[in-house]
Amino acid sequence: MKTYMAKKGEVEAKWHVVDVADKVVGRVATRIATVLMGKHRPEYTPHVDTGDFVIVVNAAKVKVTGASKPATRIYQHFSGYPSGRRVHTLAEMLEKHPDRVIREAVRRMLPKSKLGKAMLSKLKVYVGPDHPHQAQRPQTLDI
């Protein structure tokens, strides 16, 4: 009996849509990262991108547990110029760019390599309930 190893073009990627309204950021991010990596499939292979596309809607309505997290959780951005470091709290990020909060949470759970960046490119995050991917006929992913 031989072990099956998936090859680059063998696995057909599906599309999933996730509504994150009133769901906790971390719990949602772990499930999304699992689907992006392809660990939910029986033909999962670590060195091949076997994951699916994930569309996240209602990113502005996501919840955070803990009373102090919005004030103490820090997000940093570097512009590339001297003294170009920008620091924002979670409360500020949820107000201005709620899509980046989910993208960062998922990015930190993916592999730190070229393969991880390819997996992250299959994540589509939208602030509102609408998305432009109706032609792919995404299926609802339960979380």
**In contact, 103 and 25? CB cutoff 8 Å:** no
CB atoms within 10 A of CB 18: 23
With a pLDDT cut of 70, the percent of the chain lying above it is: 100
Residue 41 has a pLDDT of 93
At residue 1, does pLDDT exceed 90? no
| CB-based burial label for 64 (10 Å; 0-12, 13-18, 19+) | middle
- Summary mean pLDDT of the chain: 95
Q: Which pLDDT tens digit goes with each residue over 62-84?
A: 999 999 999 999 999 999 999 99
Which CATH architecture fits 15-64+98-140? Alpha-Beta Complex (3.90)
Q: What stretches of 38-82 show up as alpha helix (H) in DSSP? A: 69-72
The CA R_g of the chain, rounded to the nearest whole Å, is: 17
Residue 9 has a pLDDT of 86
The domain segmentation of the chain, as residue ranges, is: 15-64+98-140
Strand ranges (E), 35-140: 53-57, 74-78, 85-89, 123-125, 139-140
